[in-house]
Amino acid sequence: MEKFKTITSTYVPLPIENVDTDQIIPARFLKATTREGFGDNLFADWRYDKEGNPKVDFVLNDPKYSGEVLVAGKNFGSGSSREHAAWAIGGYGFKVVVSSFFADIFRNNALNNGILPVVISDEFLSELFDCSRKNPKSTVTVNLEAQTIVNNETGRTESFEINAYKKECLLKGLDDIDFLLSNRDKILEYEKRRAFSY
């Protein structure tokens, strides 16, 4: 994984609550076993009509909005535990998803795939949506090291929580296996020192 650096970016607003993983990536796309191509089918049923043409009223098809940050309504990622939802979000190019609440399994899948889920207050979320409506080029700055997100349009800042282990992995660009391998010498030294009992 890439090391997570502080991101200042425009953002894509998706002010819809209770977005589940089948809406993020419909079940018919789950046959693949590698991550390639999932970004093309992110929000496929909202993004394309039955003939595969882009729906002009969906935000991902609106050229006014772009960026590495997706700002979504409350309760994002509910439903089934499919990791493909995180693959689709990352494959599209999002590095951060902001919401006032995430489903636990989705949040963990996102972190395991190098995507930072940032939980903010309902008030801050509403402010971000308001700013994007007024100015689609509004930006946020997400600082993982400081655990802060700033609405650069208003200057408002909020702190967010993250598991210390997952924070370290994101900052160093490590998945769980990479983390274990990076501590291989410590593990081997511990195994040499510990007393075996049979």
Neighbours of 107 (CB within 10 A): 23
What is the C-alpha separation between 28 and 1, in angstroms, rounded? Answer: 27
pLDDT of residue 81: 83
pLDDT of residue 183: 63
- Exposed e or buried b per residue across 134-147, where buried means at least 16 C-beta atoms within 10 angstroms of its C-beta: eebebbbbbbbeee
Eight-state DSSP code of residue 59 = G
Q: Is the pLDDT of residue 138 over 80?
A: yes
Quote the tokens at residue 23: 């809406």
Helix (H) or strand (E) holding 180: helix 176-182
User: Model confidence over 143-197: pLDDT tens digits?
Assistant: 999 999 999 999 999 999 999 999 999 999 987 666 666 666 666 677 777 766 5
Say what the pTM is.
0.89
Question: CB of 83 within 8 A of CB of 175?
Answer: no
Q: Is the pLDDT of residue 23 over 90?
A: yes
| Of 16 and 197, more confident | 16
What is the C-alpha separation between 106 and 23, in angstroms, rounded? Answer: 13
User: Model confidence over 92-105: pLDDT tens digits?
Assistant: 999 999 999 999 99
- Per-residue confidence at 10, pLDDT binned at 50, 70, 90? very high
Identify any residues that bridge with 8 across adjacent strands, giving them in sequence order. Answer: 141
Block residue for tokens 């979000």: 89
Quote the tokens at residue 57: 């009223």
What is the C-alpha separation between 139 and 32, in angstroms, rounded? Answer: 34
User: Model confidence over 27-82: pLDDT tens digits?
Assistant: 888 877 777 789 999 999 999 999 999 999 999 999 999 999 999 999 999 988 88
**What's the distance, CA 62 to chain centroid?**
20
pLDDT of residue 197: 52
Please spell the DSSP secondary structure of 21-34, one letter per residue. HHHHS-GGGTT-SS
For the chain, which domains are there? 7-193 (3.20.19.10)
pLDDT of residue 30: 81
